[in-house]
């Protein structure tokens, strides 16, 4: 991480905090930004999330911040509190800005820490999967009338499967990390799955464009510590135009399995029926007033294509020598690829079963 606490506190002091900042420690499990838990005050302690944005991934940090401000402002008027939701709040700098730019050109931002909540690495039971599905579903439902064209594109082609395929092809061709020989079996498995992106591309035009979250993994939900209810959706960096299918898909990817994203033991990437059932019920209930027939009929295809893309993204990064995702050990991106291919295999095996579950709602 690099920065000393004193340096972090100096950065923190640029924001409108309650009292003096006195502690700032690394926090969370994100792969992209540097995230810290910041504390200030004296007797009345206040807590915040301080983040240094990854500007290699988000090349226009102003656009990211602008999108988040607009979305949060809109959500404030959408009655979330009546349903027990507590949305993020950004803390401005002393100059009234949503980000502080330090001497090296780094972008820093700050949010209120939402107290009495926890994040989960995994859904442990169908109730948690239900709550997660409900939270992201409700997020999309609250934003149903926000014109997605009003948002900046923070990462172009983020959910464009053809572009992801091209990125992989380019990494194969150039082989920057000198790892191409090693991944022939994975490349073959990916080639054999080509029907999934083809099908998705065929229907994409017919799907309504919506404001979607685009990073609906389980760690991006805050659960109430006491009641276990989902009460906040976080990480709004990639909120932009998208499809409901891929938001549902990223939940299937992360809510229905027991292991971490780099687990390679088959038991850990098996998509579980009970967890899928909880997620499907929570999500379909929350979006019941907005979901169209074509979206409903293709939710499972959304899951397949998101997991397919995630496998490609991890493998591309492995071939590129780990440029994009943070890694804790050298082969992690390969393990992540194997994990995604395993999750996808399991999902395809259970397609009939899961379709049956969705048809009930
Ligand atoms: C990244 O920010 P974080 O760690 O939640 C990535 C997502 C991937 C995810 C895989 C901007 O999300 O798209 O699905 O890792 N975010 C970006 O865990 O690339
Ligand atoms: Mg993210």
| Cβ of residue 338 lying under 6 Å from some atom of ligand 1 | no
pLDDT for the residue numbered 279: 98
Asked if residue 121 is part of any domain, the answer here is no
217 C-alpha vs ligand 2 centroid, how far in Å?
A: 9
Asked if residue 120 is part of any domain, the answer here is no
Q: 84 and 185, same structural domain?
A: no
Q: 99 and 130, same structural domain?
A: no
Instruction: Please state, in angstroms and rounded to a whole number, the distance separating the CA atoms of residues 89 and 228.
Output: 21
Q: 211 and 348, same structural domain?
A: yes
Asked if residue 60 is part of any domain, the answer here is yes
Query: What is the domain-level CATH number for residue 102?
Result: 3.30.200.20
Of the listed ligands, the closest to the CA of 158 is: 1
Q: Which of 58, 217, 311 to mutate to test the pocket of ligand 1 (most atoms within 8 A of CB)?
A: 217
Query: Which residues make Cβ contacts (< 8 Å) with residue 331, sequence separation at least 6?
Result: none
Q: 298 and 168, same structural domain?
A: yes
Q: 184 and 310, same structural domain?
A: yes
SS3 assignment for 64-94: HHHHHHHHHHHHHCCCHHHHCCCCCCECCEC
Listing DSSP states for 32-44 in one string gives SSEEEEEEE-SSS
Domain boundary among 115, 136, 160: 115
- Is there a contact between 25 and 49 (Cβ–Cβ < 8 Å)? no
Asked if residue 96 is part of any domain, the answer here is yes
Domain count along the chain = 2
Of the listed ligands, the closest to the CA of 154 is: 1
- Is there a contact between 143 and 269 (Cβ–Cβ < 8 Å)? no
Q: Which of 27, 31, 120, 154 to mutate to test the pocket of ligand 1 (most atoms within 8 A of CB)?
A: 31
Query: What is the domain-level CATH number for residue 221?
Result: 3.90.1200.10
Protein residue whose Cα sits closest to atom 14 of ligand 1: 215
| Cβ of residue 154 lying under 6 Å from some atom of ligand 1 | no
Parent domain of 351: 126-359
Instruction: Please state, in angstroms and rounded to a whole number, the distance separating the CA atoms of residues 136 and 144.
Output: 13
62 C-alpha vs ligand 1 centroid, how far in Å?
A: 19
- Chunk the chain into consecutive blocks of 10 residues (it has 361) and report each block's average pLDDT, rounded to whole numbers: 88 97 94 96 94 97 98 90 89 98 96 97 97 97 95 97 98 98 98 98 96 97 97 97 97 97 97 98 97 98 98 98 96 98 98 97 88
∠ CA 309-63-214, rounded to 5°: 25
Instruction: Please state, in angstroms and rounded to a whole number, the distance separating the CA atoms of residues 276 and 286.
Output: 15
Protein residue whose Cα sits closest to atom 8 of ligand 1: 215
Dump strand ranges (E) for the chain. Answer: 21-26, 34-40, 46-52, 100-101, 107-112, 117-118, 210-212, 221-224, 230-233, 240-242
224: β partners: 117
pLDDT for the residue numbered 123: 97
Q: Supply the Cα-derived Rg of the chain in whole angstroms.
A: 20
Q: Which atom of ligand 1 is nearest to the CA of 29?
A: 4
315-340 burial, b at 16+ Cβ within 10 Å, e below that, comes to bbbbbbebebbebeeeebbbbbbbbb
Measure the CA dihedral 158/163/168/173, to 10°: -140
Q: 192 and 95, same structural domain?
A: no
Q: 291 and 233, same structural domain?
A: yes
Q: 253 and 285, same structural domain?
A: yes
- Give the predicted TM-score (pTM) of the model: 0.95
The token duo for 196 is 């999934």
| Cβ of residue 247 lying under 6 Å from some atom of ligand 1 | no
41 C-alpha vs ligand 1 centroid, how far in Å?
A: 33
pLDDT for the residue numbered 1: 53
Q: 158 and 45, same structural domain?
A: no
342 C-alpha vs ligand 1 centroid, how far in Å?
A: 19
Instruction: Please state, in angstroms and rounded to a whole number, the distance separating the CA atoms of residues 240 and 103.
Output: 30
Q: 86 and 130, same structural domain?
A: no
Listing DSSP states for 213-265 in one string gives -S---GGGEEEETTT--EEEE---TT-EEE-HHHHHHHHHHHHS-SS-TT--S
Domain boundary among 81, 115, 149: 115
Domain boundary among 88, 115, 142: 115
Q: 70 and 140, same structural domain?
A: no
| Cβ of residue 31 lying under 6 Å from some atom of ligand 1 | yes
Residue ranges near ligand 2 (ion) with Cβ within 5 Å = 215, 235
The token duo for 22 is 């006195």
pLDDT for the residue numbered 3: 87
pLDDT for the residue numbered 79: 76
Instruction: Please state, in angstroms and rounded to a whole number, the distance separating the CA atoms of residues 266 and 272.
Output: 12
Long-range contacts of 72-77 (CB under 8 A, 24+ apart): 72/236, 74/143, 74/146, 75/142, 75/143
Of the listed ligands, the closest to the CA of 246 is: 1
Q: 284 and 229, same structural domain?
A: yes
């Amino acid at each position: 991480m690099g920065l000393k606490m004193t340096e972090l506190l100096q950065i923190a002091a640029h924001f409108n905090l309650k009292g003096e900042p006195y502690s700032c420690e690394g926090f969370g499990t994100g792969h992209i930004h540097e995230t810290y838990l910041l504390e200030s005050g004296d007797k009345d302690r206040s807590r915040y999330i301080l983040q240094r944005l990854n500007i290699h991934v988000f090349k226009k940090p102003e656009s990211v911040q602008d999108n988040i401000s607009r979305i949060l402002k809109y959500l404030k008027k959408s009655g979330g509190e009546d349903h027990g939701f507590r949305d993020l709040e950004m803390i401005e700098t002393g100059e009234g800005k949503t980000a502080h730019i330090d001497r090296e050109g780094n972008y820093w931002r700050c949010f209120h820490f939402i107290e009495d909540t926890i994040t989960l690495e995994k859904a442990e039971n169908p109730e948690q999967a239900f709550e997660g599905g409900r939270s992201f579903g409700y997020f999309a439902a609250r934003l149903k009338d926000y014109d997605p064209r009003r948002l900046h594109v923070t990462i172009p082609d983020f959910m464009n499967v053809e572009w992801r395929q091209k990125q992989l092809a380019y990494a194969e061709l150039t082989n920057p990390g000198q790892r191409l020989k090693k991944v022939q079996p994975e490349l073959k498995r990916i080639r054999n799955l080509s029907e999934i992106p083809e099908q998705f591309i065929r229907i994409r035009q017919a799907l309504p464009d919506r404001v979607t979250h685009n990073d609906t993994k389980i760690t991006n939900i805050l659960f109430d510590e006491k009641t276990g209810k989902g009460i906040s959706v976080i990480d709004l960096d990639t909120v932009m135009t998208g499809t409901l299918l891929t938001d549902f898909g990223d939940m299937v990817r992360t809510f229905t399995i027991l292991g971490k994203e780099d687990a390679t033991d088959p038991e850990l990437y098996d998509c579980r029926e009970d967890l899928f059932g909880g997620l499907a019920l929570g999500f379909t209930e929350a979006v019941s007033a907005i979901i169209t027939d074509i979206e409903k009929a293709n939710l499972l295809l959304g899951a397949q294509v998101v997991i397919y893309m995630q496998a490609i993204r991890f493998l591309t990064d492995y071939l590129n020598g780990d440029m994009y995702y943070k890694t804790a050990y050298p082969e992690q991106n390969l393990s992540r690829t194997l994990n995604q291919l395993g999750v996808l295999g399991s999902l395809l095996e259970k397609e009939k079963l899961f379709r049956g579950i969705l048809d009930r709602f």
